[in-house]
Amino acid sequence: MGAGLNGDIIWSQSIAHHFIEQGYHVLWPVKPHYVDACQRAYPKICFISDVAIKPEYFNIKEKIEVDGMLIAPIRWSDTYMKRPYKEVMRNKYDMYDLDWHTWKNHAMWKMDDKRAASLMQILGIKYGDKYNLVNKRFGTYAEKNIDIQISNDYRNIEMIEVPGYSLFDWTLVISGAIEIHTVSTAILFMLEMLPLNQPIHLYCRKPVEQNFSFVDYIFTKPYILHE
């Protein structure tokens, strides 16, 4: 698995735990290359490959029971709530009458310290090194990218696919950077969860989006925005 990951997996953990607290066993279909990493990060959820699920399930836009399973169609939250797509993140909580401000309650992933330290070694980073963390890629398979120009003299560490490592394994690399330069993607939710003090430059996902209106209400850090 590469550095990519669907941000909904982090953002919606508190929704999943809402169902767990009601006695449900939560099955979460994800892309096959995400299963292992997500399972390690959030062991209370059962992550399964989406190829094991009937394709028609993904088009269900109602909160209904099918084949003995309660469907939670959060991917269609804007359609269900009949609200603009720019509110799609908070809509996932609103459709279950949950306070979206609680998203952090269960969003912290279980750290794999050995993997995180191993990734630092693979990237040639020693503790105390000064570097920029650069993330240009976004999309389900990190197939899209933007151009990011950096004007300091520090070494650039770019978030690329490293076989056997997930986005969560980049935690130490993220935390140790002098500056962070990233497109607004799943890493945003990690930045919100981590105690970071370094400058964080956030770049718009152009041409998919033209500004940060989809996520700016989530911001709690003094990001330097590049639209």
What are the tens digits of pLDDT across the range 185-225? 899 999 999 999 999 999 998 888 889 998 999 999 999 99
Q: Is residue 102's pLDDT more than 60? A: yes
Give the per-residue pLDDT at 141.
64
What are the tens digits of pLDDT across the range 23-75? 999 999 998 989 999 999 999 999 999 998 888 888 899 999 988 889 999 98
- Average pLDDT estimate for 75-103: 92
Q: Which of 205, 185, 124 is nearest to 157 (CA)?
A: 124
Q: Is residue 2's pLDDT more than 60? A: no
Q: Are strands 131-135 and 144-145 parallel, antiparallel or unpaired?
A: unpaired
Provide the residue ranges of all domains of the chain, joining segments of one domain with +. 7-106, 113-226
Give the per-residue pLDDT at 4.
44
Instruction: Count the alpha carbons within 13 Å of 150 in the hemisphere toward its beta carbon.
Output: 23
75 vs 60: CA distance, rounded Å? 10
Q: Is residue 1's pLDDT more than 80? A: no
Share of the chain above pLDDT 70, in %: 96
168 vs 109: CA distance, rounded Å? 7
Task: Tell me the whole-structure pTM to 2 decimals.
Answer: 0.90
E strand intervals along 50-123: 65-66, 69-70
